[in-house]
Amino acid sequence: MIDPLTAPLRVAAAGLEAQTTRMRVVSENLANAQSTGDTPGADPYQRKTVMFSSVLDQASGTSLVKVDRIGRDKTPFRVEYDPDHPAADKSGYVKLPNVNMLVEMADMREANRSYEADLQIVKQSRQMISMTIDLLRST
């Protein structure tokens, strides 16, 4: 049984961590938006996706969030005609990663928004704790 005043901090910290992981995956996707294979007909970089799940924290009885697993996006790759490319297949087509910049940007903004909300909770919980401590201050 942990102090009910610090339980929100714990939960928000888990949220912050999950959103950071999500942000990392988004940046991996963006960085590899043009990564092709290096042998003829090889598959390029496959977009990564994050899955969240809530997990019960035994100590405080709250449900924290954690990154369940990092999966791969199964949508088909884009193809481009570029016969000189090392990854081009027999008919001259190169497979490009299935990363869509707009989707990644939207995902990034959502992660950002959730992160800010978590930070706000941390701020308010800290304020509540210091209000309680201030009770001990002699006036």
Binding site for other proteins (CB under 8 A): 1, 4-5, 7-9, 11-12, 14-15, 18-19, 22, 51-54, 60-65, 110, 113-114, 117-118, 120-121, 124-125, 127-128, 131-132, 134-135, 139
- Of 52 and 93, the one with the shorter C-beta distance to other proteins is 52
Tell me how far, at minimum, the Cβ of 33 lies from other proteins, in Å: 23
- Of 63 and 75, the one with the shorter C-beta distance to other proteins is 63
- Of 14 and 87, the one with the shorter C-beta distance to other proteins is 14
Residues 6+ apart with CB under 8 A from 95: 36, 37, 41, 42, 43, 44, 77, 78, 79, 87, 89
- Of 77 and 118, the one with the shorter C-beta distance to other proteins is 118
Cβ atoms 9, 122 nearer than 8 A: yes
Cβ atoms 12, 118 nearer than 8 A: yes
- Residues 90-109: b if buried by 16+ CB within 10 A, e if exposed: eeebbbbbbbbeeebeebbe
Tell me how far, at minimum, the Cβ of 12 lies from other proteins, in Å: 5
Tell me how far, at minimum, the Cβ of 6 lies from other proteins, in Å: 9
Place of tokens 């001990």: 136
Q: Give the CA distances from residue 100 to residues 7, 38, 41, 103, in Å, rounded to whole numbers and listed in that order.
A: 38, 21, 21, 5
Tell me how far, at minimum, the Cβ of 21 lies from other proteins, in Å: 11
Tell me how far, at minimum, the Cβ of 52 lies from other proteins, in Å: 4
